[in-house]
């Protein structure tokens, strides 16, 4: 495949990353050029999958009898897995989004086997090159898609284990892809990458409770809420944070986050100076959100929780400091 086409495809992925988050995009800049391109590609694909499931991207798929059959077969499996749960959308929208995910899964395997052509989507053209350069596993991408497929149904986690399993699929699996690009010598790095993903997604879940409720998704473990005398319907109460039961639940939730956070911090010991900048900045960004939740005494209902301008400036300064430090360590 022509070098220019591959480079143009990488630039396409780069623009997606830049448009999605300037803070995280800046953190990628500490990586050397080749690894930075690869990370842009992985991030762009995951962003695309997420946007399709959430309805932020209208999937355009080349319809075929084979793809329809594959989608029907996959839907039968998912309906069995999620028996008793409603679709998140109308049947037509559900089938349209599922077909897009099936198509992406097919193209992932084609990319891993070097079967992508010049007329395929730019993300897969770039990804095929990433597969050639790094020991990333297509199974980890498959896990990410499985996590997104869960969101095609009304989500209800019941236990901590179910919530952790979801976090693993949509976040830890991405981390396992990225550290193969970063590079590491001790396989213990993979265990800490898993905990970093779970930690960040647990914070995401808590931050996005209101938004997820609107989408028919409840990730907070129902059984644990019940132990604290909280019903799912209570989550619509804007004053719930004043309730002692909620405060008790939040204390337990924050302790679970801290357990994974402690392990996640050890990941950076296994990465070189340049590679650790991006995951470290992500970890710090989520830690700032986590600290904000603590300061609010678990009030996630009254106003949206997001990084302040001051926090973003602080992270930008940290990125540049770590970039300079990593450059000095390699000279």
pLDDT by residue (tens digit) across 67-118?
A: 999 999 999 999 999 998 999 999 999 999 999 999 999 999 999 999 999 9
Q: What is the pLDDT of residue 318?
A: 63
42 in Cβ contact with 138 (< 8 Å)? no
Determine contact, residues 180/131, Cβ cutoff 8 Å.
no
Residue with tokens 């980890």: 140
Those residues of the chain that have pLDDT short of 50 are: none
pLDDT tens digits, 173-193: 999 999 999 999 899 999 999
Query: How much is the pLDDT for 56?
Result: 84
CA distance 104 to 47: 13
pLDDT at 282: 83
Task: Give 64's contacts (C-beta < 8 A, 6+ positions apart).
Answer: none
Give backbone dihedrals phi and psi of 187, rounded to 5 degrees, phi first: -65, -10
* Residue 276, pLDDT score: 83
Look at the domain 159-331 and name its fold: Farnesyl Diphosphate Synthase (1.10.600)
Q: Whose CA is closest to 102, among 139, 142, 136? A: 142
pTM, entire model: 0.90
Domain ranges of the chain: 1-153, 159-331
Separation CA 197–CA 201 (nearest Å):
6
Q: Compute the C-alpha angle 173/164/47, nearest 5°.
A: 40
Say which residue the tokens 């007329």 belong to.
Answer: 119
Q: Are 86 and 217 a contacting pair, CB within 8 Å?
A: no
pLDDT of residue 272: 85
Quote the CATH superfamily of domain 1-153.
Farnesyl Diphosphate Synthase (1.10.600.10)
* CA angle centred on 192, ends 189 and 196, rounded to 5°: 130
| 155 DSSP β-pair partners | 217
């Amino acid at each position: 495949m022509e070098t220019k086409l591959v480079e143009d495809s990488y630039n396409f992925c780069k623009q997606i990353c830049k448009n999605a988050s300037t803070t995280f995009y800046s953190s990628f800049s500490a990586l050397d050029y080749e690894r930075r391109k690869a990370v842009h590609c992985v991030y762009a694909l995951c962003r695309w999958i997420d946007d399709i499931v959430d309805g932020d991207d209208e999937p355009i798929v080349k319809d075929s009898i084979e793809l329809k059959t594959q989608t029907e077969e996959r839907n039968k499996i998912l309906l069995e897995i999620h028996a008793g749960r409603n679709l998140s959308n109308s049947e037509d929208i559900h089938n349209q989004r599922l077909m897009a995910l099936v198509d992406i899964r097919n193209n992932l395997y084609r990319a891993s086997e070097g079967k992508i052509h010049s007329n395929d989507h730019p993300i897969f053209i770039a990804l095929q090159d990433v597969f050639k350069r790094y020991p990333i596993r297509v199974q980890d991408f498959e896990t990410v898609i499985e996590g997104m497929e869960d969101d095609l149904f009304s989500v209800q986690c019941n236990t901590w284990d179910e919530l952790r399993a979801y976090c693993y699929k949509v976040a830890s699996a991405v981390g396992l892809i990225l550290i193969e690009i970063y590079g590491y010598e001790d396989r213990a790095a993979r265990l800490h990458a898993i905990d970093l993903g779970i930690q960040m997604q647990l914070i995401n879940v808590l931050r996005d409770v209101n938004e997820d409720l609107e989408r028919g998704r409840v990730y907070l473990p129902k059984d644990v809420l019940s132990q604290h005398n909280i019903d799912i319907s209570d989550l619509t109460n804007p004053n719930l944070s004043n309730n002692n039961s909620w405060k008790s639940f939040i204390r337990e939730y924050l302790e679970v986050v801290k357990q994974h956070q402690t392990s996640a911090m050890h990941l950076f010991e296994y990465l070189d100076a340049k590679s650790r900048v991006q995951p470290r900045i992500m970890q710090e960004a989520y830690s700032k959100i986590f600290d904000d939740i603590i300061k609010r005494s678990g009030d996630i209902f009254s106003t949206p929780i997001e990084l302040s301008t001051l926090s973003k400036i602080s992270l930008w300064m940290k990125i540049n400091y770590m970039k300079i430090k990593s450059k000095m360590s390699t000279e």
